[in-house]
Structure 1
C-alpha cells in the first residue's frame, strides 16, 4: 500500500480469482498509507442463542468479490477518493475469556485509530461494537446511527454484563455514546421484559420502531436521523437482523417484518455527508444460510458505507 490511490487492478480481474479480501482491495501490511480500513472481527462470544457469527467475516469477504468500483446511483468511486485496504482480522490470544477478548478487540481498533484510519468492521456478533467504541470514542462521547431489530440496551444475561444484547447500554454507561444523539431504526419483535426499550427511551435515544418506519417512510426516517445526529462525530452500526429475514436468514436472532434491502440502501444513501468515525456490519451467521445471500447483503452494505465515508473524507480535505 505505497500508492496514494487504491490499486484497482485486482478488481478488474475475474471475480473468482485471487486471495479473498474485502472488496478485492489489497491486504495491508503497512497501515501508514491507509485512509479507510476494512477489518474482520470473527467473534461471537456474546450470542444468546444461535452461534455462528464468528464465521461472518470470512464469508463476507467471499461475497464482497461481487462488488465493483463505481456506485450506480451516486457515481462515487470510493477507491478514487481514499486509500482503502483490508486490515485483516482481529487475532485473539484469550478468545474464551469474554471480557479479555473484548480488550483484545479494543487494542486493535486503538491501533487503527492511532494510524488515522477510519474502520469499517465486519462482525462477529453485536458485542464487538462496544470495544470498537471504547477505542474510537475514548476521548468524547459520539453520536450513533443504529439499524437493528433490537435496541441492544438490555442489561445482564445469564450473569454476564456483556452480550450482543447489551453493547449500547454499556456504551452509554461508559460515556462512549451520547444517548441524546442516538437513533435506533427498525426495532421490533416481542421481548420477555421492557427493560431495553425502557432504557433507550429514558436515556433520550430516538427509537424508531418498525411500525413507525413503515408509516412515515424512509425519507422521513433519514430526516430524523440527520436531525438527531447533526454534525457530531458519528458511528454507524448495522445489524443484519434489522432487515427482514427473507433477505438475511443467516443471522442469530431473526425477526420478521423488517426493512427491505432496497429501503436499507436508500436509508444509507440518505446519510451522506455525516461526520463518520467508523462503522460496522454485524451478526452474519453463514451456517444458517446456504445460499450465501446474507453475506452478500452484508458485503453490499459495507460497500455503501465505504462510499459514504470516502465521500466525506474527500470533502474534508
Structure 2
C-alpha cells in the first residue's frame, strides 16, 4: 500500500481507479520527488500500432507492485514522494503538436523539482522528453533497445520511433561520448547500421550477444562511460525477448530475459538519474498482461535506484555511493 495515499480502508490490487502502483493521482507537484506520466502517442510507428494504450495498461497491471524491494533493500515510496500525474494531452495524428505537448508536460515536472518516470507510447516521444532538459545542457543517455533508432528518416519522415536518438544528438540534447546503447540485435539493413552509431554519431553500443552472461561487466562498462554525468535512461520493451515481452511494437527474437534486464538495472545504482522512460508497450499484442506487468516492475526498479541515491545523499554518504551497486546474481 502506498503510504501517501492514506485511504480510509486498504484497497485490493484489483480494485479502485488504476494509477501507477496505486499512487495518488495529483496534478499538484509541490513537494513531489517523482511524477509518473503517461505518454499515449504512437503516431510514428512503422510496424505494430497501439502504444497509445500502453500507459493505461501499465497502470492497471502495476496494481500488484509492492512497497519494498528486498534485492535493492529500499522502499522507494517511503524514501520519495511519488504521484501519478496522469497523461500528456497529446494530439492524435499530429506528431509535432504531440511532441510539443510532451515537452511542456515534462518541463513542468522538471520545473517543480521532480524527476519524471514516463510510460509510452512510441519511442519517438523520447525526443520530446529530452527536449525538456534542453536548458540543463546535453545529458548522457542509456538506451536499452533492440534497435539503434539512429536512422536518418523513414519513408521520407525525419521524426520517427526509429530516428529519435539521431535527432536528439543533432539537436545537442545528448552527449554521445558518455552515452551507450544496450541490447542491439536482429536483422538490419547492412553493416553500416551499427557502424554509423559508433563511427558517425559517437555512441557506444553493446549487443545482446555481448550482454548475455556478462551482466555485471556490462553494468560496469555503463557506469564507467557515464561517470558522474546526469543521465536519462530510456528502455524500449523490445530489448526483452518476446517470450517475456510480446506486447511491443517491433519484437525481435533472441533478447534479454526479464530476469537479466532487472539484474542489469539494479547494478546501475551509482548513476545520477534525472529521468526515465519505458516505451513501446502495445497491449493488443500482450499475452496475459506479462509485458505490462514487466513494465510496471521495471518502473519500480528504476524508482529504487533513485531512492537509493537520495538516501545515500541524505545520509551524507554521496561520495560512497559509487561502491554501493547491488551485485548481480550469477547468470
Which TM-score applies when normalising by structure 1? 0.94
1:33 Cα deviation after fit:
2.3
1:192 Cα deviation after fit:
2.1
Secondary structure in 2 matching 1:238: strand
1:101 Cα deviation after fit:
1.4
Counterpart of 2:288 in structure 1 is 291
**Aligned equivalent of 2:172, options 155, 161, 175:** 175
**Aligned equivalent of 1:127, options 124, 146, 156:** 124
**Aligned equivalent of 2:204, options 177, 198, 206:** 206
Deviations 1:196-233 (A, max 9, x none): 4233112221110111112x610100000101110100
Counterpart of 1:229 in structure 2 is 226
Residues 196 and 175 (structure 1), Cα distance of their counterparts in 2 relative to 1, 3 Å cut: farther
Deviations 1:137-195 (A, max 9, x none): 43311111111101111111011111110111000000111001111111001112445
Residues 315 and 296 (structure 1), Cα distance of their counterparts in 2 relative to 1, 3 Å cut: same
- 1:86-235 pair list within 5 angstroms: 86-92=84-90, 94-202=91-199, 203-214=201-212, 217-235=214-232
**Aligned equivalent of 2:77, options 79, 97, 104:** 79
**Aligned equivalent of 1:56, options 54, 57, 62:** 54
**Which stretch shows the higher mean deviation, 233-242 or 190-199?**
190-199
Cα distance in structure 2, aligned partners of 1:28 and 1:53: 23
Gaps of 5+ in 2: 315-331
Residues 308 and 201 (structure 1), Cα distance of their counterparts in 2 relative to 1, 3 Å cut: same
The answer to whether the aligner puts 1:44 opposite 2:34 as a matched pair is: no
Cα distance in structure 2, aligned partners of 1:31 and 1:8: 18
Cα distance in structure 2, aligned partners of 1:11 and 1:207: 49
Residues 123 and 11 (structure 1), Cα distance of their counterparts in 2 relative to 1, 3 Å cut: farther
Cα distance in structure 1, aligned partners of 2:31 and 2:43: 32
Counterpart of 2:68 in structure 1 is 70
CA RMSD of aligned residues (A): 1.6
Secondary structure in 1 matching 2:148: coil
Cα distance in structure 2, aligned partners of 1:243 and 1:296: 13
Cα distance in structure 2, aligned partners of 1:128 and 1:293: 23
1:11 Cα deviation after fit:
10
Cα distance in structure 1, aligned partners of 2:115 and 2:47: 31
The answer to whether the aligner puts 1:275 opposite 2:272 as a matched pair is: yes
Q: How many residues align?
A: 311
Secondary structure in 2 matching 1:177: coil
Contact 2:18 2:59 in 1 (8 A): yes
Which TM-score applies when normalising by structure 2? 0.90
Secondary structure in 1 matching 2:118: strand
